[in-house]
Chain A
Amino acid sequence: MNEAREPAMSAEEMLRLRAELEAANRKLTEAYKLMSLGRLVSGIVHEINTPIGSILSNNEVTTRSLEKLAQFLGEAQQRGTPPPAKALEIVETVRGLAAVDKIACERISGIIRGLKTYARVDEADLRKVDLHEVIRDTLKLSGCEYRRRVAVETDFGDIPLVECYPQLMSQVLLNLLVNAGQAIEGEGKIVVRTRNEDGWVRISISDNGRGIQPEHRARIFAPGFTTKPVGIGTGLGLAITREIVVDTHKGEIGFESEVGAGTTFHVRIPVEHPGSGRP
Protein backbone atom coordinates (compact mmCIF):
# COMPACT_ATOMS: atom_id res chain seq x y z
CA MET A 1 0.00 0.00 0.00
CA ASN A 2 1.41 3.30 -1.09
CA GLU A 3 -0.30 6.12 0.75
CA ALA A 4 1.55 8.83 -1.16
CA ARG A 5 -0.30 7.83 -4.31
CA GLU A 6 -3.74 8.30 -2.85
CA PRO A 7 -5.54 11.54 -3.64
CA ALA A 8 -4.47 14.06 -0.99
CA MET A 9 -7.98 14.89 0.04
CA SER A 10 -11.47 14.37 -1.25
CA ALA A 11 -13.48 17.39 -2.32
CA GLU A 12 -15.88 16.64 0.48
CA GLU A 13 -13.13 16.61 3.05
CA MET A 14 -11.74 19.88 1.67
CA LEU A 15 -15.11 21.49 2.13
CA ARG A 16 -15.40 20.17 5.64
CA LEU A 17 -11.94 21.42 6.57
CA ARG A 18 -12.64 24.81 5.06
CA ALA A 19 -15.84 25.06 7.08
CA GLU A 20 -13.94 24.08 10.19
CA LEU A 21 -11.29 26.66 9.50
CA GLU A 22 -13.94 29.32 9.03
CA ALA A 23 -15.63 28.31 12.27
CA ALA A 24 -12.30 28.47 14.11
CA ASN A 25 -11.69 31.89 12.62
CA ARG A 26 -15.06 33.14 13.78
CA LYS A 27 -14.36 31.81 17.26
CA LEU A 28 -11.00 33.54 17.33
CA THR A 29 -12.57 36.81 16.23
CA GLU A 30 -15.23 36.41 18.90
CA ALA A 31 -12.64 35.58 21.55
CA TYR A 32 -10.54 38.58 20.57
CA LYS A 33 -13.61 40.79 20.69
CA LEU A 34 -14.42 39.64 24.22
CA MET A 35 -10.84 40.07 25.28
CA SER A 36 -10.78 43.64 23.93
CA LEU A 37 -13.92 44.32 25.89
CA GLY A 38 -12.31 42.82 28.97
CA ARG A 39 -9.38 45.18 28.61
CA LEU A 40 -11.77 48.11 28.49
CA VAL A 41 -13.71 47.05 31.56
CA SER A 42 -11.69 48.85 34.20
CA GLY A 43 -11.94 52.08 32.21
CA ILE A 44 -15.66 51.55 31.71
CA VAL A 45 -16.15 50.90 35.42
CA HIS A 46 -14.35 54.14 36.19
CA GLU A 47 -16.38 56.10 33.70
CA ILE A 48 -19.66 54.74 35.05
CA ASN A 49 -18.86 54.93 38.76
CA THR A 50 -18.28 58.64 38.62
CA PRO A 51 -21.75 59.64 37.36
CA ILE A 52 -23.38 56.97 39.55
CA GLY A 53 -21.61 58.39 42.60
CA SER A 54 -22.96 61.81 41.72
CA ILE A 55 -26.51 60.60 41.17
CA LEU A 56 -26.59 58.67 44.46
CA SER A 57 -25.22 61.61 46.39
CA ASN A 58 -27.59 64.05 44.68
CA ASN A 59 -30.56 61.85 45.44
CA GLU A 60 -29.73 61.90 49.14
CA VAL A 61 -29.10 65.62 49.21
CA THR A 62 -32.32 66.29 47.27
CA THR A 63 -34.38 64.22 49.70
CA ARG A 64 -32.88 65.99 52.72
CA SER A 65 -33.27 69.37 51.04
CA LEU A 66 -36.93 68.79 50.30
CA GLU A 67 -37.51 67.82 53.94
CA LYS A 68 -35.93 71.07 55.01
CA LEU A 69 -37.90 73.00 52.44
CA ALA A 70 -41.15 71.47 53.65
CA GLN A 71 -40.23 72.44 57.18
CA PHE A 72 -39.43 76.07 56.22
CA LEU A 73 -42.62 76.42 54.20
CA GLY A 74 -44.73 74.82 56.94
CA GLU A 75 -43.34 77.18 59.57
CA ALA A 76 -43.80 80.20 57.33
CA GLN A 77 -47.39 79.24 56.65
CA GLN A 78 -48.13 78.79 60.34
CA ARG A 79 -46.66 82.17 61.17
CA GLY A 80 -48.28 83.77 58.17
CA THR A 81 -44.92 85.14 57.03
CA PRO A 82 -43.27 84.78 53.62
CA PRO A 83 -40.91 81.79 53.32
CA PRO A 84 -37.33 82.55 54.39
CA ALA A 85 -34.60 83.35 51.84
CA LYS A 86 -33.06 79.97 52.72
CA ALA A 87 -36.01 78.26 51.05
CA LEU A 88 -35.16 79.78 47.70
CA GLU A 89 -31.53 78.80 48.16
CA ILE A 90 -32.61 75.19 48.64
CA VAL A 91 -34.72 75.32 45.49
CA GLU A 92 -31.69 76.57 43.54
CA THR A 93 -29.47 73.80 44.93
CA VAL A 94 -31.98 71.11 44.01
CA ARG A 95 -32.41 72.59 40.55
CA GLY A 96 -28.63 72.49 40.07
CA LEU A 97 -28.47 68.87 41.20
CA ALA A 98 -31.25 67.88 38.79
CA ALA A 99 -29.18 69.37 35.95
CA VAL A 100 -26.14 67.38 37.10
CA ASP A 101 -28.23 64.21 37.24
CA LYS A 102 -29.31 64.70 33.65
CA ILE A 103 -25.69 64.99 32.49
CA ALA A 104 -24.72 61.98 34.60
CA CYS A 105 -27.52 59.83 33.15
CA GLU A 106 -26.64 60.84 29.60
CA ARG A 107 -23.04 59.89 30.27
CA ILE A 108 -24.01 56.43 31.46
CA SER A 109 -26.47 55.79 28.65
CA GLY A 110 -23.86 56.87 26.09
CA ILE A 111 -21.46 54.22 27.35
CA ILE A 112 -24.20 51.60 27.40
CA ARG A 113 -25.07 52.47 23.78
CA GLY A 114 -21.41 52.01 22.86
CA LEU A 115 -21.41 48.60 24.53
CA LYS A 116 -24.60 47.59 22.73
CA THR A 117 -23.26 48.62 19.33
CA TYR A 118 -20.04 46.74 19.95
CA ALA A 119 -21.35 43.63 21.66
CA ARG A 120 -24.79 43.31 20.13
CA VAL A 121 -25.67 39.70 19.52
CA ASP A 122 -29.23 40.14 18.34
CA GLU A 123 -28.15 41.96 15.22
CA ALA A 124 -25.51 40.13 13.25
CA ASP A 125 -27.16 41.01 9.95
CA LEU A 126 -26.01 43.02 7.01
CA ARG A 127 -27.99 46.26 6.94
CA LYS A 128 -27.84 49.90 5.90
CA VAL A 129 -26.12 51.78 8.66
CA ASP A 130 -25.32 55.37 9.57
CA LEU A 131 -21.58 54.94 10.15
CA HIS A 132 -21.42 58.23 12.01
CA GLU A 133 -23.64 56.73 14.66
CA VAL A 134 -21.39 53.67 14.90
CA ILE A 135 -18.34 55.94 15.17
CA ARG A 136 -19.90 58.07 17.90
CA ASP A 137 -20.95 55.01 19.88
CA THR A 138 -17.54 53.39 19.57
CA LEU A 139 -15.80 56.61 20.61
CA LYS A 140 -17.75 56.44 23.88
CA LEU A 141 -16.10 53.08 24.55
CA SER A 142 -12.57 53.94 23.47
CA GLY A 143 -12.90 57.18 25.43
CA CYS A 144 -13.22 55.14 28.62
CA GLU A 145 -9.67 54.02 27.99
CA TYR A 146 -7.97 57.34 27.32
CA ARG A 147 -10.44 60.19 27.71
CA ARG A 148 -8.24 61.89 30.27
CA ARG A 149 -5.18 62.19 28.08
CA VAL A 150 -6.26 62.09 24.45
CA ALA A 151 -8.50 64.65 22.77
CA VAL A 152 -10.72 63.25 20.03
CA GLU A 153 -11.92 65.30 17.09
CA THR A 154 -14.42 64.25 14.46
CA ASP A 155 -14.56 65.65 10.95
CA PHE A 156 -17.61 64.08 9.36
CA GLY A 157 -18.31 64.37 5.64
CA ASP A 158 -21.67 63.98 3.96
CA ILE A 159 -21.81 60.20 3.62
CA PRO A 160 -24.65 57.88 2.61
CA LEU A 161 -25.91 54.93 4.64
CA VAL A 162 -23.54 52.02 4.18
CA GLU A 163 -24.54 48.40 3.86
CA CYS A 164 -22.45 46.61 6.46
CA TYR A 165 -22.31 44.60 9.68
CA PRO A 166 -22.48 47.34 12.31
CA GLN A 167 -21.01 45.41 15.22
CA LEU A 168 -18.07 44.26 13.06
CA MET A 169 -17.50 47.85 11.94
CA SER A 170 -17.58 48.88 15.58
CA GLN A 171 -14.87 46.30 16.24
CA VAL A 172 -12.76 47.67 13.37
CA LEU A 173 -13.11 51.17 14.77
CA LEU A 174 -12.36 50.13 18.32
CA ASN A 175 -9.21 48.25 17.27
CA LEU A 176 -7.93 51.24 15.32
CA LEU A 177 -8.87 53.73 18.05
CA VAL A 178 -7.24 51.67 20.81
CA ASN A 179 -4.07 51.31 18.70
CA ALA A 180 -4.08 55.07 18.10
CA GLY A 181 -4.50 55.77 21.81
CA GLN A 182 -1.71 53.32 22.68
CA ALA A 183 0.60 54.99 20.15
CA ILE A 184 0.30 58.27 22.02
CA GLU A 185 2.56 58.68 25.00
CA GLY A 186 1.10 61.16 27.45
CA GLU A 187 -1.21 63.67 25.87
CA GLY A 188 -2.21 63.73 22.23
CA LYS A 189 -4.94 63.91 19.67
CA ILE A 190 -6.96 61.53 17.51
CA VAL A 191 -8.96 62.72 14.51
CA VAL A 192 -11.69 60.62 12.91
CA ARG A 193 -12.65 61.69 9.38
CA THR A 194 -15.30 60.38 7.01
CA ARG A 195 -15.56 61.08 3.30
CA ASN A 196 -17.93 60.14 0.50
CA GLU A 197 -15.92 58.70 -2.41
CA ASP A 198 -18.36 57.79 -5.16
CA GLY A 199 -19.78 54.43 -4.20
CA TRP A 200 -17.38 54.10 -1.30
CA VAL A 201 -17.06 55.62 2.12
CA ARG A 202 -13.66 56.35 3.58
CA ILE A 203 -13.02 56.46 7.32
CA SER A 204 -9.62 57.79 8.41
CA ILE A 205 -8.28 57.62 11.92
CA SER A 206 -5.23 59.78 12.60
CA ASP A 207 -3.13 59.96 15.72
CA ASN A 208 -0.15 62.11 16.56
CA GLY A 209 1.61 59.24 18.29
CA ARG A 210 4.98 57.61 17.83
CA GLY A 211 4.41 56.30 14.29
CA ILE A 212 5.28 52.90 12.85
CA GLN A 213 8.93 52.00 12.31
CA PRO A 214 9.68 51.40 8.58
CA GLU A 215 10.95 47.88 9.27
CA HIS A 216 7.63 46.97 10.95
CA ARG A 217 5.34 48.32 8.25
CA ALA A 218 5.15 45.17 6.13
CA ARG A 219 4.26 43.04 9.12
CA ILE A 220 1.65 44.93 11.13
CA PHE A 221 -1.32 43.08 9.57
CA ALA A 222 0.20 39.66 10.24
CA PRO A 223 -1.55 37.78 13.04
CA GLY A 224 0.60 37.79 16.15
CA PHE A 225 2.81 40.71 15.18
CA THR A 226 3.06 43.12 18.07
CA THR A 227 5.57 45.59 19.44
CA LYS A 228 3.66 45.83 22.70
CA PRO A 229 4.61 44.04 25.91
CA VAL A 230 2.92 40.75 26.81
CA GLY A 231 -0.38 41.47 28.50
CA ILE A 232 -0.96 44.59 26.42
CA GLY A 233 -0.71 43.40 22.84
CA THR A 234 -1.67 40.10 21.25
CA GLY A 235 -0.95 41.26 17.71
CA LEU A 236 -4.33 40.04 16.51
CA GLY A 237 -6.07 43.41 16.30
CA LEU A 238 -5.02 44.47 12.81
CA ALA A 239 -5.23 40.94 11.40
CA ILE A 240 -8.87 40.75 12.48
CA THR A 241 -9.49 44.31 11.35
CA ARG A 242 -8.11 43.53 7.90
CA GLU A 243 -10.22 40.42 7.67
CA ILE A 244 -13.43 42.27 8.58
CA VAL A 245 -12.71 45.09 6.15
CA VAL A 246 -11.30 43.14 3.19
CA ASP A 247 -12.85 39.68 3.41
CA THR A 248 -16.21 40.41 4.99
CA HIS A 249 -16.96 43.85 3.55
CA LYS A 250 -14.91 43.69 0.32
CA GLY A 251 -13.29 46.94 1.37
CA GLU A 252 -9.74 48.26 1.60
CA ILE A 253 -7.42 49.16 4.43
CA GLY A 254 -4.13 51.03 4.37
CA PHE A 255 -2.06 53.44 6.38
CA GLU A 256 0.45 56.28 6.26
CA SER A 257 2.91 56.78 9.04
CA GLU A 258 5.79 58.98 10.01
CA VAL A 259 7.99 58.02 12.92
CA GLY A 260 7.65 60.55 15.70
CA ALA A 261 4.79 62.39 14.01
CA GLY A 262 1.87 59.99 13.82
CA THR A 263 -0.13 57.49 11.84
CA THR A 264 -3.32 57.53 9.80
CA PHE A 265 -5.28 54.38 9.00
CA HIS A 266 -7.69 54.55 6.06
CA VAL A 267 -10.60 52.16 5.76
CA ARG A 268 -12.72 52.14 2.58
CA ILE A 269 -16.05 50.33 2.50
CA PRO A 270 -18.31 49.96 -0.56
CA VAL A 271 -21.67 51.62 0.02
CA GLU A 272 -23.45 48.54 -1.36
CA HIS A 273 -22.16 45.23 -0.13
CA PRO A 274 -21.10 43.23 -3.23
CA GLY A 275 -22.52 40.01 -1.84
CA SER A 276 -25.92 41.41 -1.01
CA GLY A 277 -27.53 40.13 -4.20
CA ARG A 278 -28.53 43.26 -5.99
CA PRO A 279 -30.15 42.76 -9.43
Chain B
Amino acid sequence: MTTNTQPAVLIVDDEEMVITSIRAFLRLETDYAIDGFTDPEEAVRRLETHPVDVVVTDYLMPRMNGIQLLARAKELQPEAARVLLTGHADKQSAIQAINEIGLYQYLEKPWDNAQLLLVIRTAIERTQLLRSLSEKIAQLDMAHSNLKDVQSRLLRAFL
Protein backbone atom coordinates (compact mmCIF):
# COMPACT_ATOMS: atom_id res chain seq x y z
CA MET B 1 0.00 0.00 0.00
CA THR B 2 2.85 2.39 -0.71
CA THR B 3 1.86 5.84 -1.87
CA ASN B 4 2.24 5.72 -5.59
CA THR B 5 1.61 9.41 -6.15
CA GLN B 6 3.62 11.84 -8.24
CA PRO B 7 6.69 12.97 -6.29
CA ALA B 8 6.30 16.53 -4.99
CA VAL B 9 9.13 19.07 -4.81
CA LEU B 10 8.86 22.40 -3.01
CA ILE B 11 11.30 25.12 -4.07
CA VAL B 12 11.68 28.27 -1.98
CA ASP B 13 13.84 31.20 -3.07
CA ASP B 14 13.12 34.89 -2.81
CA GLU B 15 14.49 35.21 -6.35
CA GLU B 16 11.81 34.40 -8.87
CA MET B 17 14.55 33.66 -11.43
CA VAL B 18 15.88 30.72 -9.45
CA ILE B 19 12.44 29.15 -9.21
CA THR B 20 11.80 29.67 -12.92
CA SER B 21 15.13 28.10 -13.86
CA ILE B 22 14.84 25.06 -11.60
CA ARG B 23 11.23 24.52 -12.54
CA ALA B 24 12.06 24.60 -16.26
CA PHE B 25 14.86 22.11 -15.70
CA LEU B 26 12.81 19.67 -13.60
CA ARG B 27 9.88 19.88 -16.05
CA LEU B 28 12.23 18.92 -18.83
CA GLU B 29 13.88 16.03 -17.02
CA THR B 30 11.21 14.65 -14.67
CA ASP B 31 7.49 14.32 -14.10
CA TYR B 32 7.60 15.70 -10.54
CA ALA B 33 4.97 18.07 -9.26
CA ILE B 34 6.85 21.31 -8.62
CA ASP B 35 5.72 24.13 -6.37
CA GLY B 36 7.74 27.30 -6.06
CA PHE B 37 7.43 30.15 -3.54
CA THR B 38 9.32 33.42 -3.24
CA ASP B 39 7.81 34.02 0.19
CA PRO B 40 8.94 31.50 2.83
CA GLU B 41 5.84 32.12 4.94
CA GLU B 42 3.64 31.08 2.04
CA ALA B 43 5.79 27.99 1.65
CA VAL B 44 5.10 27.10 5.29
CA ARG B 45 1.36 27.44 4.72
CA ARG B 46 1.71 25.11 1.76
CA LEU B 47 3.55 22.60 3.95
CA GLU B 48 0.69 22.71 6.45
CA THR B 49 -1.73 21.34 3.88
CA HIS B 50 0.21 19.48 1.18
CA PRO B 51 2.60 16.57 1.63
CA VAL B 52 5.91 17.00 -0.19
CA ASP B 53 8.88 14.70 -0.68
CA VAL B 54 11.64 17.26 -0.67
CA VAL B 55 12.03 20.93 0.25
CA VAL B 56 14.79 22.87 -1.54
CA THR B 57 15.36 26.32 -0.07
CA ASP B 58 17.61 29.33 -0.33
CA TYR B 59 19.23 30.55 2.89
CA LEU B 60 19.05 34.34 2.84
CA MET B 61 15.45 35.48 2.48
CA PRO B 62 13.36 38.26 4.01
CA ARG B 63 11.34 37.53 7.15
CA MET B 64 12.47 33.93 7.48
CA ASN B 65 15.78 32.36 6.55
CA GLY B 66 16.19 28.94 4.97
CA ILE B 67 17.15 27.23 8.22
CA GLN B 68 14.09 28.61 10.02
CA LEU B 69 11.96 27.43 7.13
CA LEU B 70 13.48 23.94 7.22
CA ALA B 71 12.95 23.79 10.98
CA ARG B 72 9.23 24.46 10.38
CA ALA B 73 9.22 21.87 7.60
CA LYS B 74 10.71 19.35 10.02
CA GLU B 75 7.90 19.98 12.50
CA LEU B 76 5.20 19.78 9.86
CA GLN B 77 6.55 16.95 7.72
CA PRO B 78 9.48 15.22 9.40
CA GLU B 79 9.93 12.65 6.62
CA ALA B 80 10.31 15.27 3.86
CA ALA B 81 13.98 15.66 2.89
CA ARG B 82 15.50 19.08 3.58
CA VAL B 83 17.96 20.62 1.12
CA LEU B 84 19.66 24.00 1.48
CA LEU B 85 20.64 25.69 -1.80
CA THR B 86 22.56 28.79 -0.90
CA GLY B 87 24.62 31.49 -2.57
CA HIS B 88 25.98 32.51 0.79
CA ALA B 89 29.58 31.49 1.22
CA ASP B 90 28.66 30.77 4.81
CA LYS B 91 29.64 27.22 5.69
CA GLN B 92 29.07 27.98 9.35
CA SER B 93 25.33 28.31 8.96
CA ALA B 94 25.22 25.11 6.95
CA ILE B 95 27.07 23.17 9.61
CA GLN B 96 24.75 24.59 12.24
CA ALA B 97 21.80 23.50 10.12
CA ILE B 98 23.12 20.00 9.57
CA ASN B 99 23.49 19.59 13.31
CA GLU B 100 20.30 21.23 14.41
CA ILE B 101 17.70 20.28 11.87
CA GLY B 102 19.14 17.31 10.06
CA LEU B 103 19.88 18.52 6.58
CA TYR B 104 19.71 15.96 3.78
CA GLN B 105 22.04 17.94 1.53
CA TYR B 106 23.77 21.30 1.27
CA LEU B 107 24.26 22.78 -2.21
CA GLU B 108 25.88 26.01 -3.28
CA LYS B 109 24.98 28.47 -5.99
CA PRO B 110 25.75 28.49 -8.81
CA TRP B 111 24.35 24.99 -8.74
CA ASP B 112 25.03 22.13 -11.10
CA ASN B 113 21.80 20.79 -12.61
CA ALA B 114 22.98 17.18 -12.81
CA GLN B 115 23.96 17.24 -9.15
CA LEU B 116 20.75 18.98 -8.15
CA LEU B 117 18.71 16.32 -9.94
CA LEU B 118 20.69 13.51 -8.33
CA VAL B 119 20.13 15.01 -4.89
CA ILE B 120 16.42 15.56 -5.46
CA ARG B 121 15.94 12.09 -6.94
CA THR B 122 17.63 10.25 -4.08
CA ALA B 123 15.90 12.51 -1.57
CA ILE B 124 12.53 11.54 -3.00
CA GLU B 125 13.42 7.84 -2.90
CA ARG B 126 14.46 8.19 0.71
CA THR B 127 11.31 10.07 1.69
CA GLN B 128 9.07 7.55 -0.04
CA LEU B 129 10.94 4.70 1.63
CA LEU B 130 10.54 6.37 5.00
CA ARG B 131 6.85 6.92 4.36
CA SER B 132 6.21 3.31 3.34
CA LEU B 133 8.28 2.14 6.27
CA SER B 134 6.13 4.10 8.69
CA GLU B 135 3.04 2.72 6.94
CA LYS B 136 4.39 -0.80 7.37
CA ILE B 137 5.07 -0.10 11.02
CA ALA B 138 1.55 1.22 11.45
CA GLN B 139 0.22 -1.91 9.77
CA LEU B 140 2.34 -4.07 12.03
CA ASP B 141 1.06 -2.19 15.05
CA MET B 142 -2.45 -2.71 13.84
CA ALA B 143 -1.85 -6.43 13.25
CA HIS B 144 -0.24 -6.67 16.64
CA SER B 145 -3.18 -5.10 18.47
CA ASN B 146 -5.57 -7.29 16.45
CA LEU B 147 -3.58 -10.31 17.59
CA LYS B 148 -3.72 -9.14 21.17
CA ASP B 149 -7.43 -8.71 20.81
CA VAL B 150 -7.83 -12.22 19.46
CA GLN B 151 -5.57 -13.54 22.16
CA SER B 152 -7.55 -11.93 24.96
CA ARG B 153 -10.81 -13.18 23.44
CA LEU B 154 -9.33 -16.65 23.22
CA LEU B 155 -8.20 -16.47 26.81
CA ARG B 156 -11.63 -15.28 27.88
CA ALA B 157 -13.23 -18.12 25.96
CA PHE B 158 -11.10 -20.73 27.69
CA LEU B 159 -11.06 -19.38 31.20
Binding site for B on A (CB under 8 A): 42, 45-47, 49-54, 56-58, 60-61, 64-65, 68, 93, 96-97, 100, 103-104, 148-149, 187
Contacts and interface: CB of A to CB of B under 8 A. Distances in A.
B87 A53 contact: yes
Nearest to B85: A53
Contact of B109 (A50, A60, A97, A100): A50
Contacts of A50: 13, 15, 17-18, 87, 109
B89 interface: yes
B78 to A, nearest CB: 28
Interface residues of B, number: 26
12 contacts: A45-B87, A46-B89, A49-B87, A53-B21, A54-B15, A54-B18, A58-B21, A61-B24, A65-B28, A68-B28, A104-B17, A148-B61
Contacts of A46: 60, 86-89, 109
Contact of B24 (A42, A97, A103, A104): A97
Contact of B25 (A45, A61, A148): A61
Max count, chain A CB within 10 A of own CB: residue among B21, B62, B63? B21
Contact of B110 (A52, A61, A65, A68): A52
A53 B110 contact: yes
A54 B21 contact: yes
Interface of B: 13-15, 17-18, 20-22, 24-25, 27-28, 60-63, 86-90, 108-111, 113
A149 to B, nearest CB: 6
Q: Which 4 A-B pairs have the closest CB atoms?
A: A53-B110, A49-B87, A49-B109, A53-B109
A53 B111 contact: yes
B113 to A, nearest CB: 5
A146 to B, nearest CB: 10
B113 A60 contact: yes
Contact of B21 (A57, A68, A148): A57
Contacts of A57: 21-22, 24-25, 111, 113
B28 A97 contact: no
Nearest to A90: B28
A149 B25 contact: no
A42 B88 contact: yes
SS of A interface (majority): helix
B3 to A, nearest CB: 29
A149 B20 CA distance: 23
Max count, chain B CB within 10 A of own CB: residue among A54, A56, A60? A54
A148 B14 contact: yes
B24 A64 contact: no
Contacts of A64: 28
A139 to B, nearest CB: 17
A93 B110 CA distance: 21
Given A50-B109, A60-B25, 12 more contacts: A46-B60, A46-B86, A46-B88, A50-B17, A52-B110, A54-B15, A54-B18, A56-B110, A58-B21, A61-B113, A93-B28, A100-B17
Contacts of A100: 17, 20-21
Nearest to A99: B20
